Amino acid sequence: MVKFFKSFLDFIYPPLCPLCGERVERHGNLCATCWAKFNWITNPKCFKCGYPFPANLDLGAKPMCPHCAAGECDLDFIRSACVYDDVSKNVMLPFKHASQLKYKTLMSRAMINCLHDIDFDVDVVMPVPLAWRRLFKRGYNQATLLARPIAEHYNAILDTDSVSRKYKPDMGHKTAKQRQENVRGVFNVVNKDKIRGKKILLVDDVMTSGATFYELNRVLRKAGASAVYGVSFCRVVHAI
């Protein structure tokens, strides 16, 4: 009966690839052709921040990038599903700025997928907070839309209000150092009881320099978080 109902639903509302409209197996899935266009991050990669290394590099079981080796990343780990390029940009930017919410499922599934080989415990899933002024203008926090299915997947609490964010003008096209200074002090833990002793997974659509994750990690640890992880759909990859 359930099977019949599903085929009936698929008949009137068929699952289509959100990028090209090709018929697919399941709602939110990409077709094989579109899937192959993304630069998905696989091994080898930095085991701490997920920075992708060239495929032919053999750096042992726990390879580390120079930044993490220098102790610049204080999160327990960061992972991103794919590299920020023309393909992922054409999903991420319309999702963020033009209400193209049809991309939500493919993005959150790819993020869950990129975490599957890590053994970790999570109590709280927290979308990177948006300043109220931006939230008001955009109408939604794109990171919350991605965080909800991730929280459901891990059976964790979705926390959207324990940390607030001050409004600061756009960070676009600035150096890593400028981004770090720009984000410094913008987050404020408003409910320490919900943070203390918790293992927290931060969720964002894109990781640029990591400055946002690093700063959130700093304030969450100060408020007593016992572990902080980060996951993004895509990440900017500069040669290091």
Q: Which residues bind Zn ion (CB under 5 A)?
A: 17, 19-20, 22, 31, 34, 46, 48-49, 51, 65, 68
CB of 218 to Zn ion, least distance (A): 17
What angle do helix axes 86-97 and 104-114 make, rounded to 10 degrees?
Answer: 120
Point out which residues pair with 203 in neighbouring strands: 127, 231
In the complex with Zn ion, the residue whose CB is nearer, 17 or 75, is 17
Cα end-to-end span (Å), the chain: 56
CA 82 to chain centre: 10
In the complex with Zn ion, the residue whose CB is nearer, 47 or 233, is 47
CB of 73 to Zn ion, least distance (A): 6
CB of 113 to Zn ion, least distance (A): 17
CB-CB contact of 56 with 63 (8 Å): no
How many helices and strands, by DSSP H and E, does the chain display? 9, 7
In the complex with Zn ion, the residue whose CB is nearer, 9 or 20, is 20
In the complex with Zn ion, the residue whose CB is nearer, 160 or 180, is 180
CB of 44 to Zn ion, least distance (A): 12
CB of 47 to Zn ion, least distance (A): 8
In the complex with Zn ion, the residue whose CB is nearer, 19 or 189, is 19
C-alpha–C-alpha distance, residues 123 and 128, integer Å:
16
Residue with tokens 């640890």: 221
Report residue 232 as tokens. Answer: 């993004």
Report residue 195 as tokens. Answer: 């943070």
SS3 195: coil
